Amino acid sequence: MLRFILRRALLAIPSLFGLLVLTFFLIRVVPADPAAALAGENATPAQVAEIRRQYGLDRPLHEQFVVYLGQVARFEFGESAYSRRPVALDIKQRLPATLELTVSALLLATLLGIPLGTIAAVYHNRWPDTLLRVLSVAGVAIAAFWFAIELQLLFAMDLGWFPLRGRMSSGLAAPPAVTGFLLLDSLIAGRLDAFRDALHHLVLPAVTLSLGGIATIARFTRAGVLETLQKDFVLYERAQGFPSRALIWRFVLKNSVVAAITQIGLLFGALIAGAVVVETIFDWPGIGFYTVQAILTADYKVMLAVTLLIGVIYAAVNILVDLVHGLIDPRLREQL
């Protein structure tokens, strides 16, 4: 198993290196004059020249790339033009908010998606299946930003059931930060009022973000369960008179979730990207909101750091998915 983990981790190195090359090109090569971009619109030619020298932009590309690698390795992303603070510090403070949101959305998507997909497969080609098929295609077709706004319109503005934006009511003191996850921190501090408030704020953003995930997980679970249902062992158990319900929820499902787990892993990456939109609409103080602010203020350093961060999370999740596969199905370990 250890060898499998090592080999899988080694395979991630080329794609991470590729990511570094890509971001380097984005920052240094694509803009006509990166120094001018860094200096801002109102800079004089002398200031631009100074920045070019200061950032080593007058040196050959391969030398710049080596310097760039060193900076990334030391987490030196410079200071954000938007918040006037080190980018690494900003990210450290904002990452828990994004993770809290995405993990909740993923949990919701899994808890709803797997049972829905299973039900659809059991009622194959009957109305629950058709309904789910249409719903799951619809779930992927909805623009998340629009759905979020409609949810706000209905549940926050009209009905007033949920708060409109933010992570916590402004009148409430936040619990002392231990993990950065508000739900966990408020429980650690024993503050049930804060826990309830944070959960209340989490509902609409998490539901918006989980929508596409529910659809995807349900589809892959359905396909997996359908395939397993055709296996001989199911026929055998059925012939033995094994109760159908227990058979499906205990044995068939366990044999069918491999593809769905891959999707859960891939979804995590997609959800982090989706958080960009959802956080913007709900003023959620996470990485996504930060990214959009950075884009609108042309804050290159932040953009670079965030793109790298998301790429690394993507790669890490992919490794994790393969490891889980290896645990579920030992045959896959041999293939690598």
Site for other proteins, rule CB under 8 A: 14-16, 18-19, 21-22, 26, 30-31, 125, 130, 133-134, 137-138, 140-147, 149-150, 152-153, 157-158, 223, 226-227, 230, 269-270, 272-274, 276-277, 280, 291-292, 295-296, 298, 303, 306-307, 310-311, 314-315
* C-alpha closest to that of 201 among 283, 277, 273: 283
Between 5 and 292, CB nearer to other proteins: 292
Inter-residue contact 299 to 80 (CB < 8 Å): yes
CB of 6 to other proteins, least distance (A): 20
In sequence order, which ranges of the chain are alpha helices (DSSP H)? 2-24, 34-39, 45-54, 61-73, 87-122, 127-141, 144-151, 182-188, 192-229, 232-239, 244-246, 253-282, 287-296, 300-328, 331-335
**What φ, ψ does residue 19 adopt, rounded to 5°?**
-60, -40
The DSSP letter of residue 176 is P
CB of 66 to other proteins, least distance (A): 19
Between 88 and 144, CB nearer to other proteins: 144
> ∠ at Cα 109 (105, 115), nearest 5°?
155
DSSP reduced 3-state for 40: coil
CB of 242 to other proteins, least distance (A): 23
CB of 278 to other proteins, least distance (A): 11
Between 26 and 81, CB nearer to other proteins: 26
Between 116 and 198, CB nearer to other proteins: 116
CA distances from 81 to 39, 139, 312 (A): 10, 37, 24
CB of 183 to other proteins, least distance (A): 25
- Matching residue, tokens 């199911």: 234
222: Cα separation from own chain's centroid: 23
Between 138 and 192, CB nearer to other proteins: 138
CB of 254 to other proteins, least distance (A): 18
Inter-residue contact 282 to 166 (CB < 8 Å): yes
Between 10 and 46, CB nearer to other proteins: 10
